[in-house]
Each structure stands twice: as C-alpha cells, then as structure tokens.
Amino acid sequence: AAKKAGGATYQFFTPELNRRASDRMWTENNLRRALANDELELHFQPQFSLDGRLLIGAEALVRWRQPDGTLIMPGQFIPVAEDTGLILPLGDWVLGEACRRAAELLRHRTLLIAVNLSAVQLRRPGLAERVAGCLSAFGIPPSALELEVTESVLMDESDLVSETFSRLRGMGVSLAIDDFGTGYSSLAYLKRFRVDKLKIDRSFVSGLCAGNPDSGAIIEAITGMARSLRMQTLAEGVETEEQYQCLAKLGCDQGQGYLLGRPMPYDDFLAFVRREARAPEPRLAETVE
Ligand code: C2E
Ligand code: MG
Ligand code: MG
Ligand code: MG
C-alpha cells in the first residue's frame, strides 16, 4: 500500500502512522480477549418524543471496560472490529445483551430499544433469523426493537440487504437510518428500502437557531419528506433547550442528546426509567402484517 501511494512512499514510517498501526494491533489483540472475558457493556441513552417530552426508548451503545476500569469508546474499536471481522461476534453479543436488558426494562415501561448494526452484519446471511432467535429467547415483542444502520449499507447492490430489511419489517422490528444526511447516498434508496425512522445527524442540529437558517431549512426538508413517506424523524445531539424548541417547531418527532440524557450504564438507566414511569406510556408502532 505504501508503494501505491507513489511519491509519498515513506509515509508508513512516520511516527504518527506507526503509532496508529500499533494502536490497531493492540486493539485487535485485546478485543479478542475482551469478548472472551466479558469486558464489553452496553450503555443506554434515552430518546424522547418532542411533543410532550415522553421517554419512548433508548439507544444501546457499546463500551469496553478495561480490567483496570478504563472505559474505551466505540469510535476506538468498532472500526477495527469491522476490519478484522470481530464485529460479527461483537455484534451478536450486542444484540443478545440488548434483548436481555430490553426484557428487564419492559417490565417497568413500554420502551423501544435501538441497536446499531454494521454493514458487515447485514452482509452475513441469516441476520433476520438471528434477530428472531434473540427476541424469542428473551420473550420480547418485535415492536420493542429497532435496528439502526447507516446510509452506506443501503448502497449495497445485492438483494440480500433489501430482503433482510423486508423480513425484519415483516416480523415487526423497526428500522432506522442512522446519521441521516451525512452519507454519500442518493435518496433513491428510500424507495427501495422501506424504513421507519430517519435519525437526523447531529451536524444539522448543532447549528440550529444560533443564527443559522440553513440548518433549519435542511431539517424542515427532512421532516417534510419523512412525513410524506410515513417515516418518523429523530434528531441526534440535542444539547440545548433552544435546539429542542426549534426541532419541535420544524416538525421533528423525537430527540436524543445530552439535554435529554447522556448514555448511561444499565443500572442508572433503570433508575432513570423508574423516575419516568409515572409519566404516561408511549404507544409502540403496530406490528406490520
Ligand atoms: P451513533 O449511533 O450515531 O451514536 C450516537 C453517538 O453520539 C454516541 O457516541 C453518543 O454518545 C453521542 N451523543 C449522544 N448525544 C450527544 C450529544 O448531545 N452531543 C454529542 N456531541 N454527542 C452525543 P458513542 O457512544 O461514542 O458511539 C459512537 C458510534 O459508535 C455510534 O454512533 C455508533 O455508530 C457506533 N456504535 C456504538 N455502539 C455500537 C454497537 O453496538 N455496534 C455498532 N456496530 N456500532 C456501535
Ligand atoms: Mg446509532
Ligand atoms: Mg447516530
Ligand atoms: Mg452519529
């Protein structure tokens, strides 16, 4: 690869690239151990309806707890897991753990639990069966599970991904496009892949109201399109009350972000849910026939 770079042949030997390569090697070696030794954990970040500010669900986000207690964030190991194939056992663990936790949470409140999937997981045959197996193992209604994928997954030309999508939706599992608006995709995929929700990337949310009409215009275009296609919208990265109010005005359905709650360990989230349990319960979507 260094040769292909032509003139910049020696880039591999810069200290920066050396450090990055050895970080990756460290991550790969230790991630195997992490999986075997149960060092991964899921944190949960609450999701709210903007109209009424009801707790409606949570996104499960993976973290790696080092033996010394240090927490490693997914940005540091998910890309390595994807490159090495470790994302398959890791993703299976996340799905199972999310279902186990969802079953417990559902005893307290009706909630939608969202799980992130990598493209690699969708390209492996049998995902719908795997999901069905997890749901029945923990006795969870399919309507309580949402799967998040990024736009890059939808550029896949093969029929496998679109068939998997229809099977999952047919079961009643909902599908969301994560970081919507940041991918390279054309909107044509929205016709081919029916999804339930667009998660508007936080880059469009951060500039809201603060004298940036362009961000508002983009959000309004997304929520308008989503409504016509009978999809819901959720804004990521809601950090201020001002953003919250703007999003509600622009027709966004739901929000997630530090204003409403940070990702937190399961026990903290359970306490959070119990505090919210006095508020009215949300209704989950009807199961698709
Ligand atoms: P994501 O799915 O877009 O998740 C949202 C990320 O934004 C999370 O970062 C969350 O902590 C952060 N966030 C939430 N609210 C705010 C806010 O108000 N302001 C700001 N600045 N950030 C906010 P996190 O937990 O570090 O996860 C990063 C990414 O790692 C996720 O982005 C997702 O793509 C990936 N990831 C996490 N868990 C999994 C997993 O189990 N499987 C896979 N395949 N990917 C995962
Ligand atoms: Mg996500
Ligand atoms: Mg996201
Ligand atoms: Mg994101």
Q: What are phi and psi of 62, to 5 degrees?
A: -80, 145
Instruction: Give the per-residue pLDDT at 185.
Output: 67
Q: Which one, of 249, 217, 258, lies nearest residue 48 by Cα? A: 258
Instruction: Give the per-residue pLDDT at 3.
Output: 44
Q: Helix, strand, or coil here: 190?
A: helix
Q: Indicate the length of the chain as a whole number.
A: 289
Instruction: Give the per-residue pLDDT at 20.
Output: 77
Do β-strands 197-200 and 232-235 pair in parallel, antiparallel, or remain unpaired?
parallel
Q: What angle do CA 32, 26, 118 make, to 5 degrees?
A: 55
Do β-strands 174-180 and 71-72 pair in parallel, antiparallel, or remain unpaired?
unpaired
Place of tokens 């994807």: 82
Q: In angstroms, rounded to a whole number, what is the distance separating the alpha carbons of residues 145 and 112?
A: 6
Q: In angstroms, rounded to a whole number, what is the distance separating the alpha carbons of residues 114 and 56?
A: 11
Within 10 A of 91 (CB to CB), how many other CB atoms are there?
24
For residue 205, give the ligand nearest its CA.
1
The rounded Å distance from CA 232 to ligand 1 centre is 20
Which ligand 1 atom sits closest to the C-alpha of 236? 15
The helix or strand, by DSSP H or E, that contains position 105, with its residue range, turns out to be: helix 87-105
Instruction: Give the per-residue pLDDT at 289.
Output: 46
Weakly modelled stretches of the chain, pLDDT under 70: 1-13, 185, 279, 285-289
pLDDT digits (tens, 9 = 90+) for 77-101: 999 999 999 999 999 999 999 999 9
Instruction: Give the per-residue pLDDT at 286.
Output: 62
Burial of 216 (0-12, 13-18, 19+ CB in 10 A): middle
Q: Helix, strand, or coil here: 28?
A: helix
Q: Does the predicted interface ipTM exceed a cut of 0.95?
A: yes
Mutate to test the pocket of ligand 1, among 63, 78, 123, 244 (most ligand atoms within 8 A of CB): 78
The helix or strand, by DSSP H or E, that contains position 176, with its residue range, turns out to be: strand 174-180
Which ligand 1 atom sits closest to the C-alpha of 258? 18
Q: What would you report as the CA-atom Rg of the chain, rounded to the nearest whole angstrom?
A: 20
Q: What are phi and psi of 147, to 5 degrees?
A: -115, 130
Mutate to test the pocket of ligand 1, among 93, 99, 236 (most ligand atoms within 8 A of CB): 236
CB 166 within 8 A of CB 281: no
Q: Whose CA is nearest to atom 43 of ligand 1?
A: 116
Mutate to test the pocket of ligand 1, among 42, 115, 116, 247 (most ligand atoms within 8 A of CB): 116
Within 10 A of 130 (CB to CB), how many other CB atoms are there?
16
Q: Concatenated DSSP letters for 47-76? A: EEETTT--EEEEEEEEEEE-TTSPEEPHHH
